[in-house]
Amino acid sequence: MYRSHNCGELRISDAGSVVTISGWVQKSRDLGGLTFVDVRDRYGVTQLVFNIDENPELTTRARKLGREFVVQATGKVRERSSKNPNRATGDIEIDVDQLIVLNESKVPPFTIEDDTDGGDDLRMKFRYLDIRRTPVQNNLIFRSKLALETRKYLDGQGFVEIETPFLIKSTPEGARDFVVPSRLNQGQFYALPQSPQTFKQILMVAGMDKYFQIVKCFRDEDLRADRQPEFTQIDCEMSFVHIEDILNTFEGLVRHLFRHTLNMELGDFPRMSYDEALRLYGSDKPDLRFGMQFVELNETVKGKGFSVFDDAELVVGICAKGIAESYSNKDLKDLTEWLQRPQIGAKGLVYVKYQEDGSVKSTIGKFYTDEELLALGQKFGAEKGDVIFILSGELEKTRKQLNELRLEMGRRLGLMKPGEYAPLWVLDFPLLEWDEDSGRFHAMHHPFTSPKKADISRMMDGDHETMKSLRADAYDMVINGAEIGGGSIRIHDRALQSRNFDLLGFTKEEAEAQFGFLLGAFEYGAPPHGGLAFGFDRLCAVMNGQSSIRDFIAFPKNNQGRDMMIDAPSPIHDEQLKELCLQIKIDKM
Ligand code: ASP
């Protein structure tokens, strides 16, 4: 028997009993004749004590234990004289009379404590040591619980978990595919799924009615911050549903998950159209933990001789409460410079300060009277002590820039409170996006997304401009400014699907070659259907108020898409290449 108890479960009520524990040496210290050794496992830390006078041989051995040695200790539980209230086992210690070293350890390259001194790549290289740390373990345990609760809820709603293949033909989600050469079909390649999109739709044609899968997806994208080339989705699809059924079902899922993992009841899930989200927040994933809505000012400020505003497509502002006194001219200058960095690219920042003494101070005081500036303030509900920030320029850019400023002010003013969750649905996305560079339309969601019913006839016979105004039956769930899920009602009509492929620039032959199997399936009685997918890693991170999904993935890749532990990707043997009929020629730069 390696252990009678784990390292997290002994309490004062166990005092007097003889127990055995096993675990890793976290720390040891010698105090006079006593040696204390903290032993850790997944469940906690328990203190061992050795007394040099009572047991010199054993204590000498204990003093030789190094960090991360694996030990087994037997002894009597006793009450501690100096207790540690920060530890569940802090009332007791084990007076050891038998110590076995199960395994030794090299000195670890970083400290295995909650706050480690290990840099990212080092932690990833020695991920097995990193995972010994409590915060990482807690993340993985949370993830496991979240998956379990997802299955419980969806099972309760009649969903069936069905696996779909990983070796497939490319799925069009807009990213690059990872490809796998086929040995048996030389010169041909499988693609790893960017999502199980086409399979889940086929499962609806197959009559499975409600499908889900917690599934790996693969996208060969340039790795922007916090993207992983392989990530996990909760992927779902339902038949005979309208948007409303889907929103209700998955709002229910997310409520269930918060209730059963965080013990928290979520408030309302407001619904906002894509247009409204852009107009009020400059983003299709607004963080609704705080207000600071955009106020558009074209009507109010134009025609007063200030050419910057007069020439702008959009003049728009936000109101930051209560900072008029605390924000010095230097702070405002810094903020302006922050906005002018190339990443954001604002030309300048106009502000209006409503000071406590009732006076108004502004960068545009020359062009507007105090009365006009006070009237402007009223549009924002500004009070004494508030500052209004105004940006102007081209519509899309200006909204993006003001979105950055709003988020920055939210951060600076502590309005994005950890532990607070503001979910919402964003609806009515455009169906198609016009891409100037390639001179073609792209699907905003994916090519199987249905236009809104009211837009179908316009889609079938409208002109080019009309296509830009089509709305999709697509929806995103957003929590605290992060898109955690998205999906759509699908096209289930062959003619409409063909028209969509036409608009997306596929010839009949191309559409047939790429999606013939799906179009074929649609000819055998496709039910109306729709679904969505949640980013499982992101959901874990958002629910824990963390920004990085990497910390919720046991073995993540770094920013170059490398697994630092197993050192992948890596070259393969010539033999393997030959078998696959592949020749590799790398052009050295
Ligand atoms: N396949 C989509 C995605 O990965 C989700 C969906 O439309 O259900 O974003």
Query: What's the whole-number average pLDDT of the chain?
Result: 95
Query: Regarding beta strands 210-218 and 160-161, do their DSSP bridges make them parallel or antiparallel, or are they unpaired?
Result: parallel
Query: Regarding beta strands 360-362 and 440-443, do their DSSP bridges make them parallel or antiparallel, or are they unpaired?
Result: unpaired
Cα distance between residue 506 and residue 512, in whole Å = 9
Which helix H or strand E contains 236, and what residues bound it?
strand 230-239
Distance 476 CA to ligand 1 centre (A): 10
* Radius of gyration for the chain, computed over Cα atoms and rounded to the nearest angstrom: 30
pLDDT higher than threshold 70 for residue 32: yes
Q: Which residues contact 465 (CB under 8 A, 6 or more apart)?
A: none
Average pLDDT over residues 476-492: 97
Average pLDDT over residues 252-257: 98
The pLDDT value recorded for residue 389 is 98
Cα distance between residue 72 and residue 395, in whole Å = 67
The pLDDT value recorded for residue 460 is 93
Ligand 1: list residues with CB < 6 Å: 173, 195, 197, 486-488, 531-533
Tokens representing 179 are 């490809």
The pLDDT value recorded for residue 438 is 85
Task: Please write the tens of the pLDDT for every residue from 191-236.
Answer: 999 999 999 999 999 999 999 999 999 999 887 767 899 999 999 9
Query: If you write DSSP's letter for every residue of 427-465 in order, what string do you get?
Result: E--BSEEEETTTTEEEESS-TTBPBPGGGHHHHHH--HH
Position 588 confidence tier, pLDDT thresholds 50, 70, 90: low
Q: Which residues contact 267 (CB under 8 A, 6 or more apart)?
A: 422
Ligand 1 atom with minimal separation from the 196 CA: 1
The pLDDT value recorded for residue 258 is 98
Long-range contacts for 544-553 (Cβ within 8 Å, ≥24 apart)? 544/139, 544/142, 545/418, 545/419, 547/226, 548/226, 549/226, 549/228, 549/231, 550/226, 550/228, 551/135, 551/136, 551/139, 552/139, 552/140, 552/142, 552/143, 553/228, 553/231
Q: Which of 103, 49, 113, 27 lies closest to 72, judged by CA?
A: 103
Residue at token pair 């086992």: 89
Distance 224 CA to ligand 1 centre (A): 20
Asked whether 380 and 373 are in contact (CB, 8 A), the reply is no
CATH 3.30.1360.30 correct for 290-412? yes
Model confidence, pTM: 0.94
Task: Please write the tens of the pLDDT for every residue from 379-413.
Answer: 999 999 999 999 999 999 999 999 999 999 999 99
Average pLDDT over residues 580-588: 77
Residue at token pair 């993985």: 140
Ligand 1 atom with minimal separation from the 488 CA: 7
Asked whether 391 and 405 are in contact (CB, 8 A), the reply is yes
Task: Please write the tens of the pLDDT for every residue from 57-115.
Answer: 999 999 999 999 999 999 999 999 999 999 999 999 999 999 999 999 999 999 998 88
Question: In the 8-state DSSP scheme, what is residue 89?
Answer: T
Neighbours of 56 (CB within 10 A): 12
The pLDDT value recorded for residue 457 is 94
What are the domain boundaries of the chain? 12-103, 137-271+423-553, 290-412
pLDDT higher than threshold 70 for residue 172: no
Report the Cα 251 to chain-centroid distance in Å.
18
pLDDT higher than threshold 60 for residue 267: yes
Report the Cα 410 to chain-centroid distance in Å.
19
Tell which one of 200, 218, 231, 233 to mutate to probe ligand 1, the residue whose CB is within 8 A of the most ligand atoms. 233
Which helix H or strand E contains 217, and what residues bound it?
strand 210-218
Q: Which of 562, 559, 555, 435 lies closest to 503, judged by CA?
A: 435
Tokens representing 45 are 């830390």
Burial 311-340 (b: 16+ CB within 10 A, else e): ebebbbbbbbbebbeebeeeebeebbeebe
Burial 482-513 (b: 16+ CB within 10 A, else e): bbbbbbbbbbbeeebbbbbbebbebeeeebee
Q: Which residues contact 255 (CB under 8 A, 6 or more apart)?
A: 265, 266
Q: Whose CA is nearest to atom 1 of ligand 1?
A: 197
Average pLDDT over residues 358-375: 94
β-pair partners for 389: 318, 351
Domain 12-103: assigned CATH number: 2.40.50.140
Tell which one of 235, 431, 449 to mutate to probe ligand 1, the residue whose CB is within 8 A of the most ligand atoms. 235
The pLDDT value recorded for residue 530 is 98
Residue at token pair 């038949």: 239
Q: Which residues contact 481 (CB under 8 A, 6 or more apart)?
A: 283, 285, 286, 287, 289, 407, 416
According to CATH, the topology of domain 137-271+423-553 is BirA Bifunctional Protein; domain 2 (3.30.930)
Helices marked H in 32-80: 56-63
Q: Whose CA is nearest to atom 8 of ligand 1?
A: 532
Asked whether 549 and 541 are in contact (CB, 8 A), the reply is yes
Ligand 1 atom with minimal separation from the 217 CA: 4
Cα distance between residue 462 and residue 459, in whole Å = 6
Burial of residue 266, with CB atoms counted within 10 A of its CB: 0-12 exposed, 13-18 middle, 19 or more buried: middle
Position 589 confidence tier, pLDDT thresholds 50, 70, 90: low
Tell which one of 173, 285, 490 to mutate to probe ligand 1, the residue whose CB is within 8 A of the most ligand atoms. 173
Cα distance between residue 95 and residue 266, in whole Å = 47
Position 584 confidence tier, pLDDT thresholds 50, 70, 90: confident
Average pLDDT over residues 521-544: 97
Q: Whose CA is nearest to atom 4 of ligand 1?
A: 195
Q: Whose CA is nearest to atom 7 of ligand 1?
A: 487
Cα distance between residue 404 and residue 408, in whole Å = 6
Cα distance between residue 571 and residue 50, in whole Å = 52
